[in-house]
Amino acid sequence: MKSQTPGIKHQRFTDEDTKNFKLLFYALLIGLIVGLVGAIFRIALSYIESLRNTLYENASNTGFYNWLWPILFAIVGVSIALFLVRKFAPEASGSGVHEIEGALDEIRPMRWKRVLPVKFIASLFSLGSGLLLGREGPTIQLGANIGKMVKDLLNPCDIESNPLISAGAAAGLSCAFNAPFAGIIFVIEEMHDHFRFNFYSVAAIMIGAGASDFVVRTLIGSTSAITMTIFSSPNVLELWLFIILGLLFSGVGYIYNKTLIISLELFEFSLKTPIIIIGVFGGLVIAIIGIFFPEMIGGGYTTITEVLDNSFSLYFLLFLFIVRMLLSIFSYSIGVPGGIFAPLLTLGVILGMMFGLVTQHYFPDLISHPGIFAVAGMAGIFASTVRAPLTGLVLAVEMTSNFELILPLIVTTVTASAFTALLGNKPIYTTLLKRTLANTKSKEQI
């Protein structure tokens, strides 16, 4: 056989370079759009949450009559979110991360024309109602669908959807928490079975995450998602405590994942129940608890601040942890859009702070500050539920700016993820995707 001529080889390499640079340009465009959409989403949500907080403050200060307004606010929010999702885009319920993983494998549809407006609007209502859901789920799914939108509208036939959708997902997590590195690591680690890894696809998600973060920081600001004390690195003699903390979170992650799946199965009946009934029930639960204990509801950012300020006793922290864990599972199970990252990170802070307070009591000369364990708790619970220890570590560091705590966080996340795997705990998004595919198959057979 004759070898190819130099001219043909040169043309082939030129075409390949052109395709790769087009991919990077589209990733930049996706990141900028996702950053703009994410910033608008965060700004709108902050206004809604401010209104909700005012309603709850008035209810607690002025008597029974004013309970009506936060209750109506919650019921309307949950009901509208449910209506939009069920009527127009069922795949927009929950966080949407498992839907993205299915789309990357080309086994789930990505109907961006429906999902983008429904996910954006419905998430404002569901998160604004006070349900224990995070903004990162909506922004990740919005970002991935924006990636597909750019692919379809600009129609680059020589570029696959996979890297563009992945770049959008990374940009979505980046803009949710001002955490671009976590967005990059999340796609590589959590979506490694679905993301088609090569030099240019990794460069694409890096560009998407960075561009999104740039837009959000320009429009909203560069402050960390969680404002807290910057701790110095703990003494190496303390590291064994982080092994114990990791073991604790391995069990918590196992319980959380199993309980969430059981709850989703129990709430299957709600798909045939009128939306208004679920809306009234969900809204009443959240509103009544929120009137008495406002720190029990919402994504958890205010709660994290109060916990870190030592505003609660040890017994109340235990009560807070149990109630918020149950409510976060309840909030996700009723079928409205919203993520689990923020509620999980809040649980990690609460349990980590409890662990820190107890160990400080018994080892006062060894523990410099219990808040160190709260930061480790954020990473630990993420590692044991999502089974993505590196993402959990990076997310905790970027959100709190505690870069000196990397070593204890490594110890916590590795322990938590390894031992929860030994318990038989599966990654939550893998389980959710398998469940979705099984439900879809059963409906097709019917």
Residue 356, pLDDT score: 93
**CATH 1.10.3080.10-classified regions of the chain:** 20-219, 236-442
Pick the CATH number of 236-442 from 1.10.3080.10, 3.40.50.11540, 2.130.10.10, 1.10.630.10: 1.10.3080.10
Alpha carbon distance 156, 410 (integer Å): 41
Residue 91, pLDDT score: 93
What mean pLDDT do residues 209-233 have? Answer: 88
Q: Give the CA angle between residues 351, 353, 357 to the nearest 5°.
A: 120
Residue 4, pLDDT score: 55
pLDDT of 312 > 80? The answer is: yes
Can you name the residues that pair with 337 across neighbouring β-strands? 94
pLDDT of 288 > 50? The answer is: yes
Q: What is the pLDDT of residues 375-388, one digit of tens each?
A: 999 999 999 999 99
Asked if residues 184 and 170 have their Cβ atoms less than 8 Å apart, the reply is: yes
Residue 62, pLDDT score: 62
What mean pLDDT do residues 181-205 have? Answer: 88
Q: What is the pLDDT of residues 76-113, one digit of tens each?
A: 999 999 999 999 999 999 999 999 999 988 888 899 99
pLDDT of 7 > 60? The answer is: no
Least confident of 11-15, 137-141, 408-412: 11-15
Torsion of CA 385, 386, 387, 393, to 10 degrees: -100
Alpha carbon distance 234, 328 (integer Å): 32
Reported as type and span, the H/E element at residue 416 is: helix 406-422
Count H helices and E strands in the chain, helices first: 17, 0
Q: Give the CA angle between residues 393, 397, 402 to the nearest 5°.
A: 135
Alpha carbon distance 386, 390 (integer Å): 11
Q: pLDDT band at 424, cuts 50/70/90?
A: very high
Q: What is the pLDDT of residues 321-373, one digit of tens each?
A: 999 999 999 999 999 999 999 999 999 999 999 999 999 888 888 877 888 99
Amino acid letter, residue 326: L
Q: pLDDT band at 3, cuts 50/70/90?
A: low
Q: Which one is predicted more confidently, 61 or 120?
A: 120
Domain 20-219 in CATH: superfamily? Clc chloride channel (1.10.3080.10)
Q: pLDDT band at 1, cuts 50/70/90?
A: very low
Q: What is the pLDDT of residues 241-281, one digit of tens each?
A: 999 999 999 999 999 999 999 999 888 877 778 889 999 99
Alpha carbon distance 382, 379 (integer Å): 5
Asked if residues 358 and 397 have their Cβ atoms less than 8 Å apart, the reply is: no
Asked if residues 93 and 298 have their Cβ atoms less than 8 Å apart, the reply is: no
Asked if residues 77 and 278 have their Cβ atoms less than 8 Å apart, the reply is: no
Residue 366, pLDDT score: 80
Asked if residues 139 and 41 have their Cβ atoms less than 8 Å apart, the reply is: yes
The overall average pLDDT reported for the chain is 90
Residue 422, pLDDT score: 95
Q: pLDDT band at 442, cuts 50/70/90?
A: low
What tokens appear for 178 in the block? 């001002």
